[in-house]
Amino acid sequence: MTDAVDHPSLAAVVSSLAGDPLSLDAPPSWSQGRTLYGGMTAALAWAAAVRTVPDLPPLRSVQAAFIGPAAGCLTIEPLVLRRGKSATTVGVDVHGEAGLAARLTFFCGAARPSKVAHERVTAPAAPAPDDLPAVLTAGQGPTFAANYDIRHVSGGLPFSGGEPEFVMWARMREAGGADPLVSLIALADVLPPASMPVFPEFGVISSLSWSFDLDRLPDDASAWYLCSATSQSTADGYSRQAMDVWDASGRRILAGSQTVAIFV
């Protein structure tokens, strides 16, 4: 068995979606514990929506609920919930071997003339990624993280006792042939939970929900992105965090929020 089979690229995983309904075997090299990594689950759901629903307007907003493990043979079923003159809403259910694994809603909307345009956000200051060392070496971190090159900019590191936030550069290692938007969705969830710096010890984590909005669409699947995550509140075994993704020129691409279950 070749390394390409053991460690398929994002494009190879997406191209393996086949059948009616669309299905594939969850690749172990994209796993986080006993489930497919959440960013990859969302990326596959969007790839399935694009393949199934013709002429979708640009993606604007996503809501994802991670319900059970996305493991084994996955079945991905998109359904058009509403198609209007300028907007289309698509629901996607992802089923794993244990039942419903994720339910996502994609809101797509065509551009229209408007007299209002502004941006009131600023990217964090950060050295160039090439000036920073890699965060993880071979064998460190969750399995899926080997698919990414990640560089620490600021914030605490896991278990360091530092501030519950991260700013890191990230890019996909093997992006050849990948759709830029599918790649971005897979990457946007790559940081550890922002509360992890204050963990007193290692503990299992599980993303429960993730919502994000797109300020603009990406055009390069292999680009570096500056990712930030900030824990806003943590109590009772749950952490709520804000998340942003910026391109190398300092333009925000994506803004999101996530609720994470923590077993510490």
pLDDT at 159: 85
Residues of the chain with pLDDT under 50: 1-2
pLDDT at 135: 86
Angle at alpha carbon of residue 150, lines to 149 and 156, rounded to 5° = 165
CA quadruple 169, 173, 174, 180: dihedral, nearest 10: 0
Pairing verdict, β 252-263 and 99-109: unpaired
Q: Which two tokens stand for residue 48?
A: 């399935």
pLDDT at 171: 97
Q: Which two tokens stand for residue 88?
A: 């289309």
pLDDT at 158: 83
**Separation CA 103–CA 67 (nearest Å):** 7
pLDDT at 2: 37
Architecture of the domain delimited by 3-110+126-263: Beta Barrel (2.40)
pLDDT at 160: 87
